[in-house]
A and B are shown apart, each in its own frame.
Chain A
Amino acid sequence: MATATTFITRGRRVVSSISRRRFSSSCQNAIQQQQQEKSQPGGGKSLNLYSAINQALHIALETDSRAYVFGEDVSFGGVFRCTTGLADRFGKSRVFNTPLCEQKARKFHIKFCFMQGIVGFGIGLAAMGNRAIAEIQFADYIFPAFDQIVNEAAKFRYRSGNQFNCGGLTIRAPYGAVGHGGHYHSQSPEAFFCHVPGIKVVIPRSPRQAKGLLLSCIRDPNPVVFFEPKWLYRLSVEEVPEDDYMLPLSEAEVIREGSDITLVGWGAQLSIMEQACIDAEKSPTLVALQEGISCELIDLKTLIPWDKETVEVSVKKTGRLLISHEAPVTGGFGAEIAASILDRCFLRLEAPVARVCGLDTPFPLVFEPFYMPTKNKILDAIKSTVNY
């Protein structure tokens, strides 16, 4: 729609809509909590998520003269401010939403709205050995580019017998709920892309993660789709090292240790899950009478190719698994995780794998609080899984 810029000036509005809806305020608490726990001292400057991404893009352009950033409205900073300052610093021939005719003999024509154009152009650029960093304004608008991603980018290497590749391509797109986004500014389309061998799908949970993972994606020799949790662009703040660092892809991280149940998630949903873990710890159950339920929380980070081993080791220890994502439950990536872990841990499982996800409806505006996999839905599922 209409609102590409909907969320620019909305930091405050997000917070206010959160406090109107209690479910969301728990999310906000969780984020703050997470920030306190995760930020290590001396780790650098305190940054929000969009600034961390901005920093990563600066570094990417700085360290590789063959890196380009382009997409809708990126030259004035992008609707979420992620590309602020890049065009001024690196020039309109490397950061653009437009043809940059005045400056160079070689002209890049990128039409602003042409999603298939953006990705197709990026593939070509990447195929010539450049780092092409494309921004799609909202993950909801990535679908016109689906053909380019699925049939072209993902198979570029394979179909040429590795004579050609477009590994320098990274597609960034803000995804997920934001409190008032309705159908077309809220979706989590990651599962579609996880069904496509040849691309990687990565989703960060926080500013520090975002910077390190994005730099890895940009420098990874494979095309990557990098979904950014737009709810956290301003809300999530933590210390982010100022230097150039990368976090490994396809490595999950145990962000909270526990012994009764394993929870697996990614992106913005982790903060909700973490809150549920904290509450579960306070609930005594049949199994763990005194201590409450001890939950292990895993951030998958890379959805394909994903780190089964970390999840497997954890589930073998806890005997229980819960997966949570905002996307509709049916056909979501949670289903794949459940099937794989069932395969590997069948005899160790003490309860069916639980999934707490979005409903099988389009993403609804006024019903958003009902649609969402809230903390209390997760908490109930933790309890019923542990008490199974």
Chain B
Amino acid sequence: MATIWLRRSRTIAQSLKHKYGLTGILGLEGCNSFQNLHASSPSSTNHDRHLLVSTYKYSTTIVSDKRLKSTVALKHLDSTAFASDSDDEQALDFPGGMVSYTSEMQFISESQEKRIPCYRVLDDNGEIINGSDLELVSKEVAVKMYNDMVTLQMMDNIFYEAQRQGRISFYLTSMGEEAISIASAAALSTEDYILPQYREPGVLLWRGFTIQEFANQLFGNKADYGKGRQMPIHYGSNKLNYITISSPIATQLPQAVGVAYSLKMDKKDACVVTYTGDGGTSEGDFHAALNFAAVTDAPVVFICRNNGWAISTNVSEQFRSDGVVVKGQAYGVRSIRVDGNDALAVYSAIHSARKTAISEERPVLVEALTYRVGHHSTSDDSTKYRPVDEIEYWKSARNPVNRFRNWVESNGWWSDTEETELRSSLKKQLLQAIQAAEKTEKPPVSDLFSDVYDVTPSNLREQENQLRETINKYPQDYPSDVPV
């Protein structure tokens, strides 16, 4: 960086030379390359900058039953910063654009005065707030969204219970966060790829993964696409463009950028949506992913479900920033904070984010504020580390499913009778699915050895033969529901 100063101010250069004998240190190459850069004319850089700024003023046509309004993205860059100030001695021509000088030693504050506001459309009672920006949702879509949210709730109740009865080894609910996965899925096309964390089975549900398919994975039977190899809730579906969940946190995020880049290169009318929790944002992979996405102009939407907790770690212990949304700007990623318990707001934000990602070829970060109403998983008891009334508040007063139901009902699209019918039919389907999944045999022993590579290498063939001999000799050592 010393070269910059040398180029900009001969006096400083001289004094540096005196002080540190810098001429010997600075390679000629360094100086030259910087001069070349400078020679590429500051005016053209300014011009580029203006272009850039004008693209920020995009507007989306949004149809609302209450009001029509266009959304203007936050202006991140001040378009007037360099317009009147073309004196290149007053500004530093630096890769990425002109940087103005200041003699004021001012540190950028660690936080903004006000927290970034949270975009919402529905108030607590499920009524559309006057003047909201929103994407219209048809009756059909709205009713399916509500149906799926209820299905997710019922699935969570009944599968959770099945775990408590010892029928499956593990389970993890989406309670309190139903709106995020369902509404975001609703705003996407099924051509869009999903790289999930683990609390987004709602996306699969929306795309048509059946209750039986969920149950098969949970029981690890031979109909499980993962062939019983992973713990319960690690769903995946090639058919539905939902890449199989893996347990390590945040690893999916940089992968999502790679998938998105490929979609872009193939000129697909599709983007990638990847999910993470608030805890996931503390992993290095989160930061690498945002930066990579920005630099590669990848059409990827990062959705962070900020549900307040990462197992027992509260967000106040997770980061000191204003949540997650502010991290986008540091990486040059457009970002928005939405109320994750407002299905309409999530739907509208993701609809718009998807459009941006694909048409402008750029990543978007969406922070959805919500709350993990359930325990982290069946292995956790969250009352040990958080107050019960906090859980109760989010479960009742801020319940996303009830809020959405109020809105759907107010449109005359849903009634109590439909509600009762839906719930009782779901209960039946779920119990049947559990029974069927439980009865279905496990995948065969050969599935232990397949898929380690495309073709099973000799060491594994040898080990399989040995294992079969051992099984013949000691059948009592092995579970009887796994076909040999």
Contacts and interface: CB of A to CB of B under 8 A. Distances in A.
A51 to B, nearest CB: 18
Contact of B312 (A10, A13, A73): A73
Contacts of A318: none
Given A3-B247, A97-B313, A367-B482, A182 B231 contact: yes
Given A359-B448, A361-B449, A370-B467, A112 B310 contact: yes
Contacts of B473: 376, 380
Contact of B231 (A2, A76, A330, A377): A2
Contacts of B467: 359, 370
B376 A5 contact: yes
Interface string B350-374: 0000000000000000000000000
A75 B467 CA distance: 44
Interface in A29-86: 72-73, 75-76, 79
Contacts of A364: 228-229, 448
A5 B380 CA distance: 5
B220 A366 contact: yes
22 contacts: A2-B170, A2-B199, A2-B247, A4-B377, A5-B377, A5-B380, A6-B170, A9-B379, A21-B478, A22-B476, A73-B312, A144-B285, A180-B231, A185-B247, A360-B452, A365-B220, A365-B231, A366-B220, A366-B442, A367-B448, A367-B482, A370-B478
A365 B247 contact: no
Given A180-B231, A367-B447, A370-B478, A99 B247 contact: no
Interface string A323-365: 0000001100000000000000000000000000001111011
B283 A366 contact: no
A88 to B, nearest CB: 13
A370 B448 contact: yes
Interface stretch (A113-121, A208-216, A243-251): A113-121
Given A5-B379, A8-B379, A9-B379, A366 B482 contact: yes
B229 A365 contact: yes
A229 interface: no
A23 interface: yes
Contacts of A79: 311, 379
A365 B246 CA distance: 13
B157 interface: no
User: On chain B, which size bracket covers the interface?
Assistant: 35 or more
Interface string B230-273: 11011000000000011111100000000000000000000000
A1 B231 contact: yes
Contacts of A8: 379-381
A369 interface: yes
A376 to B, nearest CB: 4
Given A3-B170, A370-B482, A380 B229 contact: no
Among A21, A114, A359, A365, find the residue whose CB has the most chain B CB atoms closer than 10 A: A365
Interface string A281-311: 0000000000000000000000000000000
A21 B473 CA distance: 16
A271 interface: no
Among B311, B376, B381, find the residue whose CB has the most chain A CB atoms closer than 10 A: B311
Interface string B422-463: 000000000000000000001101011100100000011001
B166 interface: yes
Nearest to B385: A76
Interface stretch (B42-50, B292-300, B317-325): B317-325
A374 B477 contact: yes
Given A1-B198, A1-B231, A183-B247, A361 B317 contact: no
A330 B458 CA distance: 12
A16 interface: yes
Among A3, A8, A330, A359, find the residue whose CB has the most chain B CB atoms closer than 10 A: A3
B20 interface: no
Contact of B310 (A99, A113, A183, A330): A113
B215 to A, nearest CB: 15
Among A73, A112, A114, find the residue whose CB has the most chain B CB atoms closer than 10 A: A112
Contacts of A143: 248
A371 interface: yes
A114 B379 CA distance: 22
Contacts of A156: none
A122 interface: no
Interface of A: 1-10, 13, 16-17, 20-23, 72-73, 75-76, 79, 97-99, 109, 111-117, 140-141, 143-144, 180-185, 329-330, 359-362, 364-367, 369-371, 374, 376-377, 380
Given A76-B385, A79-B311, A366-B229, 5 more contacts: A5-B377, A359-B460, A361-B448, A370-B478, A376-B477
A12 B447 CA distance: 29
Contacts of A3: 170, 172, 231, 247, 377, 379
B55 to A, nearest CB: 35
Contacts of B329: none
A73 to B, nearest CB: 5
B474 interface: yes
B340 interface: no
A112 B318 contact: yes
A112 B228 contact: no
Contact of A185 (B231, B376, B459): B231
B166 to A, nearest CB: 7
Contacts of A112: 279, 282, 310, 313, 317-318
A117 B170 contact: no
